[in-house]
Amino acid sequence: MLARDLGVSRGTVVEVYEQLIAEGYLTARQGSGTEVARSAVAPAQPRAEPTAEPTPRFDFHPGVPDPTSFPADQWVRALRRALRSVRPERLGYQDPRGTPELRFVLASYLARARGVATSPELVVTCSGFVRGLDLACHALRATGARRLGMENPTIPIHLEVVAAAGLEVVPLEVDEHGVRIEMVEASRADAVLVTPAHQFPLGSTLSPERRTALVEWATRTGGFVIEDDYDGEFRYDRQPVGAMQALAPEHEVYAGTASKSLAPGLRLGWLVLPDHLVDEVVAVMESFPGALDQLTLAAFLTSGGYDRQVRHARLVYRRRRDRLVAALLRRRLPVTGIAAGLHALVELPGGVAEEEVVARAAGHGLAIDGLGTFTAPGQRHAPALVVGYGRPPDHAFTTALARLGTVLRG
């Protein structure tokens, strides 16, 4: 009857019934007909997503690059080169450290561009810095570390990652010369996490004397330094400051990422490890960047495309920084941390509440952070804004600065 009603063959209807029985939606017993299975349930209806917060017109959050600057055409060419040359086995299950091609090219690039002393077998690829920090903390915990000193202020999610790995967080004060070494000495920490090339968010560079003292502390105590080189390639007043890692390779975990130079959405980062930590890191790895993305980055680095992209981005961001600084100085607002990176620290006049300025900015369509966002609970700080100039695109940067000026005038 069903076949006749639908105008299809009887065999088609029988096949459909058999499929529904095999999948558990129907039950059939000889002599008693076919019934809907008692365990069958209706598919869940999709629920409407909650209404998203209004998107700000201009995003001044720090540490965020301009998404329109991603070199899409060059990336596609690198992908094609990678596909043409890839061996079939490279698309199977891989060495958790990453593809040999990318680890080899990264070791060479980091030695040339950042002064890192390493070899391919000590390089591990990961899905961005946060994942790399998680791996490093778990590896250090497995080797007996219990306390990790962290710069204050810093990024809140980094605090969460360290705590989730089972390490006690010890805040370390930072001044215009970087992390204070006497705080490190007094912390009884087994390891420290620092941003020596460009402290986030204050923008200071760790002085040569403190670099030496931090390395001496690590070698004397058997401690470790985790070096977050998140935007070390973007230096504007001179050549980029080299990484600390070469001063004590056996006592440092160097972490880098393509998030600022290319795009955060690629989820491509890397760790350079001491030899005795490689196995510990590999043992806790559960996910890895895709092999094809790794091979594409390797081809992009080999072709010189990555160097060209960094040089171009450095020029673009320097022009934006100069325009931001000029606009702030016209309003007599002190601005610091501008020698490198994608953000500046803007000190607010006395009596001006940081939270009020942030709220007023939101009312003008601007997303911006106060320094309090990055300061440990209970710690005091002068009112200031952490203004990122990477995200607003070039064609709208003048308008974005005008809006910011309106907010700061009150």
Looking at the fold, whether 269 and 382 belong to one and the same domain comes out as no
Domain boundary among 303, 329, 364: 303
Looking at the fold, whether 323 and 279 belong to one and the same domain comes out as no
Looking at the fold, whether 317 and 238 belong to one and the same domain comes out as no
Looking at the fold, whether 299 and 335 belong to one and the same domain comes out as no
Report if residue 43 sits inside a domain: no
Looking at the fold, whether 121 and 256 belong to one and the same domain comes out as yes
Q: What is the pLDDT along the chain (410 residues), one digit of tens a residue?
A: 889 888 899 999 889 988 888 888 888 877 778 888 876 566 666 676 666 566 889 999 998 999 999 999 999 999 999 999 988 887 888 889 999 999 999 999 999 999 999 999 999 999 999 999 999 999 999 999 999 999 999 999 999 999 999 999 999 999 999 999 999 999 999 999 999 999 999 999 999 999 999 999 999 999 999 999 999 899 998 888 889 999 999 999 999 999 999 999 999 999 999 999 999 999 999 888 999 999 999 999 999 999 999 999 999 999 999 999 999 999 899 999 999 999 999 999 888 899 999 999 999 999 999 999 999 877 788 899 999 999 998 889 999 999 999 999 87
- Cβ atoms of 79 and 292 within 8 Å: the answer is yes
pLDDT for the residue numbered 113:
94
Report if residue 51 sits inside a domain: no
Looking at the fold, whether 330 and 274 belong to one and the same domain comes out as no
- Cβ atoms of 266 and 35 within 8 Å: the answer is no
pLDDT for the residue numbered 5:
85
Classify 300 as helix, strand or coil: helix
Q: In what order do the strands lie in the sheet with 168-175?
A: 123-126, 269-272, 252-257, 224-228, 191-194, 147-152, 168-175, 178-179
Looking at the fold, whether 116 and 234 belong to one and the same domain comes out as yes
Report if residue 197 sits inside a domain: yes
Report if residue 53 sits inside a domain: no
401: domain CATH number is 3.90.1150.10
Q: Please tell me the total count of domains within the chain.
A: 3
Looking at the fold, whether 284 and 334 belong to one and the same domain comes out as no
165: domain CATH number is 3.40.640.10
Looking at the fold, whether 249 and 374 belong to one and the same domain comes out as no
Report if residue 354 sits inside a domain: yes
Looking at the fold, whether 162 and 276 belong to one and the same domain comes out as yes
Report if residue 255 sits inside a domain: yes
Domain boundary among 259, 287, 303: 303
pLDDT for the residue numbered 41:
63
pLDDT for the residue numbered 221:
96
The vertex-201 CA angle with 195 and 206, nearest 5°, equals 35
pLDDT for the residue numbered 94:
82
Two structure tokens written together for 179: 């992390």
Partner residues linked to 272 by β-bridges: 123, 254
- Other CB atoms within a 10 A radius of the CB of residue 338 amount to 19
Residue type, 11: G
Q: Which of 223, 199, 194, 155 is nearest to 375 (CA)?
A: 155
Cα atoms in the Cβ-side hemisphere of radius 13 Å centred on 119: 5
Q: Which of 120, 119, 81, 86 is nearest to 100 (CA)?
A: 120
pLDDT for the residue numbered 19:
87
Domain boundary among 275, 303, 331: 303
Residue type, 114: R
Range of the domain at 392: 58-65+307-409
Report if residue 44 sits inside a domain: no
Helix axes of 354-363 and 397-409: crossing angle, nearest 10 degrees = 130
Report if residue 340 sits inside a domain: yes
Looking at the fold, whether 270 and 318 belong to one and the same domain comes out as no
User: Which run of H or E residues covers position 307?
Assistant: helix 305-330
Looking at the fold, whether 273 and 344 belong to one and the same domain comes out as no
- Cβ atoms of 191 and 148 within 8 Å: the answer is yes
Per the listing, tokens 């997503």 go with 49
The vertex-149 CA angle with 238 and 64, nearest 5°, equals 45
pLDDT for the residue numbered 111:
96
